[in-house]
Amino acid sequence: MKNIRCCSTSTFIVIFIYTTILVTACLTHAAGFDSVIQLPPSGLRRTRIRSRWVLSVSDYGAKGDGLHNDTEAFLEAWKIACSLSGFINVVFPYGKTFLVHPVDIGGPCRSRITLRISGTIVAPPDPVVWDGLNQRKWLYFHGVNHLTVDGGGRINGMGQEWWVRSCKINSTNPCHPAPTALTFHRCKDLKVTNLMLINSQQTHMSFTNCMRVAASHIKLSAPAFSPNTDGIHISSTKGVEVRDCVIRTGDDCISIVRNSSRVWIRNISCGPGHGISIGSLGKSKKWEMVQNVIVDGAYLYNTDNGVRIKTWQGGSGFASKITFQNILMENVSNPIIIDQYYCDSRHPCQNESSAVRVENISFIDIQGTSATEEAIKFSCSDASPCEGLYLENIFLASYVPGNTSAICWQAHGTARGFLYPPVCFSISDDAFIRHNIRLGSNPAIHSV
């Protein structure tokens, strides 16, 4: 009998412990997030199951009312997150608006941080806040590896006062820089997803000198008249995938500039804005290159340009191995354009003998309507003509009654399939075969 009672008690204890664990796990699963233990006022929370720390900026003094300055609370939360090890979440909670002044967030960090923006971050509306600071930056992250930014929230650059002061809005104003809303510099293994950026002071999001970047499900929006408000800017960055984004701004939806390579853009909605651009390259006689770029799947509407390559006279370097394919356009000015005489200046640009080389560029399966008669325009350099251009299955009709045309200057290449407007260089099957062989020998960029 003693043995029976002993065994029954032990069995009861085992069953009780097992049941407690099972109920806790079920409740945790049903709630949709990890069960956490509230630690003392440090603001740290830790999940037992996945060993993840959760740091809310509200626990560090952030008011979240859109009026009080919450910058120091953000910096304090980030400082602690960066010093810990493991996987850390820094959270801007849903339903609140956090006023954040210009911040410089540096790495490296011991941890892998997820910046979860579920609420709204707003910039100071008055440019005077930047007096004495770098006027090109607002939220600036540099040297942070394995960073993820997501949360479904909003970043508002409050750019209205900056636009009014721009020399592009009022030519009597002096030209001054304005902040990029969200900058990532020298970051590796970066992921940005599920965010909305609106009304940036200038460029909305910028990747500079980064490696292995994935950006997806991002909405970027500013009025069509807002100056220089590029959506996504990629510079000196290698291994980039941008997909499933909606971009409506006053400048390039996506711009890819100097020394960037292995870039894959897909499933992009763009308009209004200036289209999807490679460049500008070669300004101030610089050597610059962009190579191994694929834009695959885009809808462009009411944009000033469609797919564009632009270079300055006098520069050097190259734009090479670039493909634009599976693109639909509606009422787009300059749907397909290469411009080696680009000049974004108050004064006329001087003629120069040198130029950035443009070569091995493909335009495949592009259809829609053009707002201008010149639906295809290749304006290439006398000293360095465009080589290896390739067109296949192009149909670009006029948005209004009338015809469209293609214009070529110093442009050489081949074409295949249905072409409207008619191509302005010769069609050669031999060159088409060489084109396919060249594409087959290119290193795959899908590894990004």
Please spell the DSSP secondary structure of 193-220, one letter per residue: EEEEEES-SS-SEEEES-EEEEEEEEEE
Residue 334 and residue 306 in contact, taking contact as beta carbons nearer than 8 Å: yes
Q: Do 233 and 274 share a structural domain?
A: no
Q: Do 336 and 264 share a structural domain?
A: yes
Per-residue pLDDT, 427: 59
Which residues, 6+ apart, have CB-to-CB distance to 420 below 8 Å?
A: 394, 395, 396, 397, 404
Domain's final residue, options 239, 266, 298 = 239
Q: Do 273 and 216 share a structural domain?
A: no
52 pairs with which residues across the strands?
87
The mean per-residue pLDDT over the stretch 161-171 comes to: 94
Report the distance separating Cα 375 and Cα 395, nearest Å.
10
Q: Do 72 and 195 share a structural domain?
A: yes
Return phi, psi of residue 277, to 5°: -125, 140
Q: Do 333 and 212 share a structural domain?
A: no
Residue ranges making up the domain that contains 73: 37-239
Report the distance separating Cα 139 and Cα 326, nearest Å.
34
CB atoms within 10 A of CB 340: 30
**Is residue 10 in some structural domain?**
no
For residue 342, what is the domain's CATH number? 2.160.20.10
Q: Do 265 and 196 share a structural domain?
A: no
Q: Do 189 and 151 share a structural domain?
A: yes
The CA radius of gyration of the chain, in Å to the nearest whole number, is 26
Is the pLDDT confidence value at 206 over 70?
A: yes
Q: Do 256 and 200 share a structural domain?
A: no
SS (H, E, C) 217-286: EEEEECCCCCCCCCCEEEECCEEEEEEEEEEECCCCCEEECCCEEEEEEEEEEECCECCEEEEEECHHHC
Is the pLDDT confidence value at 406 over 90?
A: yes
Nearest to 151 by CA among 106, 206, 184, 196: 196
Domain's final residue, options 239, 269, 300 = 239
Residue 245 and residue 271 in contact, taking contact as beta carbons nearer than 8 Å: no
The mean per-residue pLDDT over the stretch 158-164 comes to: 98
Give the distance from CA 289 to its chain's centroid.
Answer: 19
Domain count, the chain: 2
Its pTM stands at 0.85
Q: Do 112 and 41 share a structural domain?
A: yes
Domain's final residue, options 190, 208, 239 = 239
Q: Do 142 and 272 share a structural domain?
A: no
Residue 26 and residue 62 in contact, taking contact as beta carbons nearer than 8 Å: no
pLDDT, tens only, 321-371: 999 999 999 999 999 999 999 998 878 888 888 999 999 999 999 999 999
pLDDT, tens only, 167-202: 999 989 999 999 999 999 999 999 999 999 999 999
Report the distance separating Cα 78 and Cα 57, nearest Å.
9
Helix (H) or strand (E) holding 13: helix 2-31
Q: Which of 185, 204, 274, 435 is catalytic?
A: 274
Report the distance separating Cα 438 and Cα 427, nearest Å.
17
For the question of residue 274 being annotated catalytic, the response is: yes
pLDDT, tens only, 229-267: 999 999 999 999 999 999 999 999 999 999 999 999 999
